[in-house]
Amino acid sequence: MRVRVRHKVKGKGNPWWVFISHNGKRASRKVGDKKAAEEVASTIRAKLQLGEFCFEDKKPVPTFKEHSEIWLSLPHDWKESTRENYLNNLNNLILPVFGSMPVNEIKRKDLKAFFDKKYAEGF
């Protein structure tokens, strides 16, 4: 357990940071002035000793389908036929396999297996 207060970038006028390292996890928070940073650090130290401190949970990772919908909603300079072709391939070939998977769980071996299967099918 370690809680340190310091500048991230040394120099006058730069904000103070609180760096937390506990059970193999690390986090840092920008606080402002040194006095406020020391107060935050002492609060975190107390919570760590009592076992009440927990690191913030990561943001949920979108599924491939959610991510592809976001990407397709962005402005692109495609022709309409290109957009239709992308949507057809996405809906008919890719989403049935990867649509429900979180983006960070799609691995290289999954992609290789997918492409090998499609190649064997004649695509």
Instruction: For 88-112, write each residue's pLDDT tens digit.
Output: 999 999 999 999 999 999 999 999 9
Question: Cα torsion for 10, 11, 17, 19, to the nearest 10°?
Answer: 20
Q: Which domain holds residue 73?
A: 64-120
> Residue 55: inside a domain, yes or no?
no
Contact 31, 71 (CB under 8 A): no
State mean pLDDT over 61-83: 93
d(Cα 48, Cα 3) in Å, to the nearest integer? 10
> Residue 90: inside a domain, yes or no?
yes
Question: What pLDDT, on the 0 to 100 scale, is given for residue 71?
Answer: 92
Count of helix runs (H) and strand runs (E) in the chain: 5, 3
Higher pLDDT, residue 119 or 34 = 119
> Residue 78: inside a domain, yes or no?
yes
Q: Does pLDDT of 59 surpass 90?
A: no
d(Cα 91, Cα 118) in Å, to the nearest integer? 15
Domains of the chain: total: 2
Which of these ranges, 12-21, 36-45, 96-105, has the smallest mean pLDDT? 12-21
Q: What percent of the chain has pLDDT over 70?
A: 98
Residue appearing with tokens 């290289």: 108
Query: Predicted confidence band at 57 (pLDDT cuts at 50, 70, 90)?
Result: low
Question: At which of 25, 50, 75 does a domain end?
Answer: 50
pTM of the model: 0.56
